[in-house]
A and B are shown apart, each in its own frame.
Chain A
Amino acid sequence: MKVIDFVEGIKKISKKKINIMEFCGTHTHEIFRYGIRDILPENINLLSGPGCPVCVTSEEDIDYIIFLSEKYNFGIITFGDLINVPGSSESLNHLRAKGKEVIVVYSPLEAINIAKGNKDKNYVLIGIGFETTAPNLAYTLIKIKEENIKNLYFLSLHKLTPPAMKAILDRGEIRLDGIIGPGHVSTIIGRRGWEDVFNRYNIPFVIMGFKPEEILYGIYLLVMNIENGKPSLINAYKKSVKEEGNEKALEIMYKVFKKGSAHWRGLGIIEESGLILRDEFEDLDIKRIYPMKIESKKNPLCKCGEVLRGVLKPIDCPLYGKVCTPETPKGPCMVSSEGTCSAYYIYGRR
């Protein structure tokens, strides 16, 4: 079947005015990249959720990392776009420009080499991401222990997707008729990983892939499910997502981490929504060594929180496109290519 057939199919069956939310930054990005909003009938409203790990990083967490560097001179080792996320006043990029050591790595295992090569300095590796990246970091932590590296600590900013979804649904700020289930996360947690959310809210839920035809096929199933009034939890990405997920990855993840509270930008502190280190790894846990006592200032003009909850669109933010662009991001949603503001800006303009 071709894309156009799915679009025709959707048009034929779609009657109600509905809100659908995608919870994964890659979906947001691909939906914009292919202009999928433009070809769907107007009664289908696509909303983007808190599915980009960089975007949901709180000001407090960024400020804390800056504090570790400025106060205790830790070298900071981190990934990708996190360095551009603004905290209360600065980002890690600023910190680096001021001469502090901030290293962006591509693979967490590089951190081990850095620490080994500079034994007289202490480093903190920042672990960030959802269920998709956590197993990899867990593996790194096991290695750090095995190799008995003493100058490398760990800060976990890892978050779990289902609790954030629950938080949004519990707030009830927006009416959701259907959910686009995140493909990458589901490869780890499986279709099974969503049963809890599905049973509790009974909203049609389709796990889908990232190609435009996979997304449109998924939306087709979702619309059908919404229209016929019999919600179900469907795996439309069977080539990658198994019922039980990736059990090996889950096993290593929970060998190192356990569930704990996490601070989400826009959603606040949510219990059991993050991954924290188990007691066996406490000597690596920087938060236990230097507990976090940070009061952060929020930029009152940035509406990232509302954007992440689907309450506002980026264009409703007074800074969007004027002061805030991907080159000069004022909020995290403009930083990452998966962020909603960035996707609007890069792909959505006319």
Chain B
Amino acid sequence: MEDIILLSHGSGGEQTRKLIEEEILKYLGNEILEELLDSGIFNIEGRLAFTTDSFVISPIFFNGGDIGKLSIYGTINDLSVMGARPLYLSVGFIIEEGLTLNEFRRILQSMSFASRECGVKVITGDTKVVERGKGDKIFVNTSGIGVIERDLDWRGRKIEEGDLIIINGGIGEHGLSLMLQRLGVKVGEEVKSDLAPLNSLTLPLLSLCHGIKFMRDPTRGGVAGVLNEIARKYNVEIEIEEEKIPIKDWVKYASEVLGIDPLYSANEGKVVIIVERGEADKVMEFLSKHELGKEGRIIGEVKGKGNRVYLKTRIGTKRILDPLKKDLLPRIC
């Protein structure tokens, strides 16, 4: 019989100890975590960035990644777009009993790979097991701390008319590939999430271009969501052009079939950048040489005062790009 995770794995007794020492430490261990104290203790100097995110995703293994990688990269990306170099993470697991030990190992392995790749350490954690039916296989929470080197902090720079809006590649891939997978559609290899850690892109870019005024990863709510947040927070009107937005063919096709606009669909390896016009070429030049930026494009600009986002359609008409705060569901028609 296949080994599965049981309620007793979360009860704090012998089985919990085994799970932590023989599984979790094996994959995520480092000198701080291995002390197994109630807190991870460390020194950092400088201005810190601190963030947290919870990951609930179905299926937990998907084309282009899994919940393990997602939970590491997601937090790395939240730090990286703020100009912070990610250093330490905490990880909390809420496991629904019945998850197989092999599935859990695959997740740990993938977290181990992801954290090594990004040069971060998991220094504290927690594991709880809930009854069958009270969770969805596994939920993961990660928090992360990073340090911001002084001139990478873009927060004080003012967004103004004429600034340009850039995205580092095709939009909507994470959301739409997951939806196709949930639908059980047989898809080709190219159909996968864009999940990727952005630290190797955003940090060098921010030190290269001090004209970058804003960065955010457009996850839930998509590019349209992020642009609307910017418009409202900074009181600017934004206009983007449909024809300039990079979209892979399969995304275009899937979005037509499902009736879901890729502008609202989630991304996990993309960043929306606002840069002053004079430095846009420098950004584009950098992106063109970076693995995660090759398909980058300038998609629009800041138009002046306001609080709305407009889209110029490919047939030349112009309309509002609404922030649409509701779940995306495939159409029934």
Residue positions of A touching B, CB distance < 8 A = 3-4, 24-26, 29, 32-36, 38-39, 51-54, 79-82, 84, 104, 106-107, 109-110, 128-130, 132-133, 184, 210, 212-213, 326-327, 336-338, 345-350
6 contacts between A and B (CB under 8 A): A24-B333, A39-B315, A80-B330, A81-B332, A128-B332, A347-B319
Q: Mark B187-214, 1 if CB is under 8 A from A, else 0.
A: 0000000000000000000000000000
CB neighbours (8 Å) of A347 from chain B are 319-320, 322
Decide: A212 near B322, CB < 8 A? Known: A52-B333, A53-B332, A80-B329: no
**Which A residues lie within 8 Å of B182 (CB)?**
106
Known: A54-B332, A82-B332, A129-B332. A38 touches B259 (CB 8 A): no
Dominant SS at the B interface? Answer: loop
Q: Is B186 an interface residue (CB 8 A)?
A: no
Q: Do A130 and B256 touch (CB < 8 A)?
A: no
Q: How far is the CB of B284 from chain A (nearest CB, A)?
A: 28
A57 (CB) vs chain B CBs: closest residue: B332
Q: Among A26, A34, A326, which residue has the most Cβ atoms of chain B within 10 A?
A: A34
Q: Are the CB atoms of A80 and B316 closer together than 8 Å?
A: no
> What is the CB-to-nearest-CB distance from A118 to chain B, in angstroms, rounded to a whole number?
10
B residues near A84, Cβ cutoff 8 Å: 326
Q: In the complex, how many angstroms separate the beta carbon of A143 from the nearest chain B beta carbon?
A: 14
Bin chain B's interface residue count. 20 to 34
Partner of B333, one of A35, A129, A345, A349: A129
Complex Cα spacing A110 to B184, Å: 9
B contact residues around A34 at 8 Å (CB): 313, 315, 317
B48 at the interface (CB under 8 A from A): no
Q: Please name all residues of chain A whose beta carbon is closer than 8 Å to the beta carbon of B325 when the two chains form the complex.
A: 326-327
Judge whether A326 and B256 touch: CB under 8 Å: no
B278-333, CB < 8 A from A: 313-320, 322, 324-326, 329-333
B182, B326, B331 — which one has the most chain A CB atoms within 10 A of its CB? B331
What is the minimal beta-carbon distance from B275 to any residue of chain A, in angstroms? 29
Q: Nearest CB to that of B133 among chain A residues? A: A118
B 237-277 binary contact with A (CB < 8 Å = 1; else 0) = 00000000000000000001001010000000000000000
In the complex the two chains form, what is the Cα distance from A80 to B183 in whole Å?
Answer: 12
B positions within 8 Å CB-CB of A: 179, 182-184, 256, 259, 261, 313-320, 322, 324-326, 329-333
Q: Is the CB of A106 within 8 A of B179?
A: yes
Beyond the given A24-B333, A110-B184, A337-B259, could you list 8 further A-B residue pairs with CB under 8 A, ordered by the A residue number? A3-B315, A26-B259, A35-B317, A39-B316, A54-B332, A80-B329, A106-B183, A348-B319
Contact A130 B333 (CB under 8 A): yes
With a cutoff of 8 Å between Cβ atoms, the chain B residues found around residue A213 in the complex are: 315
Which residues of the partner chain A approach B259 to less than 8 Å between Cβ atoms?
A: 26, 29, 337-338
Separation of A212 and B256 alpha carbons in the complex (Å): 13
Min Cβ gap A290→B in Å is 24
Distance A106 CA – B330 CA, assembled complex (angstroms): 8
Contacts of A110 in B (CB 8 A): 184
Residues of A within 8 Å of B326, CB to CB, are 84, 326-327
Chain A residues contacting B314 (CB-CB under 8 Å) are 212
- A35 and B183: CB pair below 8 A? no
For residue B331, which residues in chain A have a CB less than 8 angstroms away from its CB? Answer: 25-26, 80-81, 336-338
- In whole angstroms, how far apart are the Cα atoms of A102 and B325 in the complex? 21
B279 to chain A, nearest CB (A): 33
B319 partner residues in chain A, CB cutoff 8 A: 32-33, 35, 347-348
Query: What distance in Å separates the Cβ of A135 from its nearest Cβ neighbour in chain B?
Result: 14
Q: CA of A52 to CA of B332 in the docked complex: distance in angstroms?
A: 8
**A104 and B329 in contact, given A34-B313, A34-B315, A212-B315 (Cβ under 8 angstroms):** yes
Identify the closest chain A residue to B256 (Cβ): A210
Chain B contacts for A81, CB-based, 8 A: 329, 331-332
Q: Top 8 nearest A-B pairs by Cβ distance?
A: A35-B317, A80-B329, A106-B183, A3-B315, A346-B322, A129-B332, A212-B315, A35-B319
Of chain A, the residue at the smallest CB distance from B258 is: A106
Question: Closest Cβ of chain B: how far from A106's Cβ, in Å?
Answer: 4
Query: In the complex where A107-B184, A210-B256, A345-B322 touch, is A51 in contact with B317 (Cβ < 8 A)?
Result: no
In whole Å, how far is B35's beta carbon from the nearest beta carbon of chain A? 42
A53 to B184, CA, bound (A): 23
Closest residue of chain A to B322 (Cβ to Cβ) is A346
Expressed in whole angstroms, the Cα–Cα distance for A79 and B261 within the complex equals 18
Look across to chain B and name the residue whose beta carbon is closest to the beta carbon of A106: B183
Distance A154 CA – B148 CA, assembled complex (angstroms): 58
Q: Is the CB of B330 within 8 A of A33?
A: no
B179's closest neighbor in chain A, by CB? A106
A326 partner residues in chain B, CB cutoff 8 A = 324-326
